[in-house]
Structure 1
């Protein structure tokens, strides 16, 4: 699996809500009604990340979770990053 070009990354993100492409990473801030809802989301995310062996950087805050995907091995965004981001969006939408 190789790196996506900047235009390939942006074309994918144009079809996704609120993901941004910055410094060879894709980033999104997810919002929650309370802290524990964010933690529950992170726990589900962690299981998917382990299963796919693709682990995002996370920042957990009050009622929000920032998720950053990049391939540390390749130094940029791959199709696996996009696939993981799409999976998280589905989980987030269906969390209730």
Structure 2
């Protein structure tokens, strides 16, 4: 998968509410009702990430989940990152 240019990244970010481009990753933080809800969403994301063979960098503190996506093999952002970000948005919106 080819590494995307900054203009390509910025164009795709316009379709992802709350996601930003920072330090070589696309990033977003989510806040949930409690730890159980955050962990449940993380588990769902983990199964989708495994299906896509593309795994997030993430951090969970109580009810907050911060996700950073990039494609290590490409040395930057690729379409894989946006595909996973869109899947994450669908998972989170379903609650």
Q: In structure 1, list runs of 5 or more residues that go unmatched.
A: none
Q: In structure 2, list runs of 5 or more residues that go unmatched.
A: none
Name the residue aligned to 2:89.
89
Name the residue aligned to 1:63.
63
**3-state DSSP of counterpart to 1:26:** strand
**3-state DSSP of counterpart to 2:66:** strand
Superposition RMSD on alpha carbons, in Å?
0.7
C-alpha separation between the residues in 2 aligned to 1:7 and 1:85? 18
The count of corresponding residues between Structure 1 and Structure 2 is 95
Equivalent runs, 1:1-96 vs 2, <5 Å: 1-95=1-95
Query: Could you say which structure has the higher helix fraction?
Result: 2
Relative to the length of structure 1, the TM-score reads 0.96
**3-state DSSP of counterpart to 1:48:** helix
**3-state DSSP of counterpart to 1:83:** helix
Render the CA deviation track for 1:19-77: whole Å, top value 9, x for unaligned: 00011100000110001100001100100111111000010012110011001111110
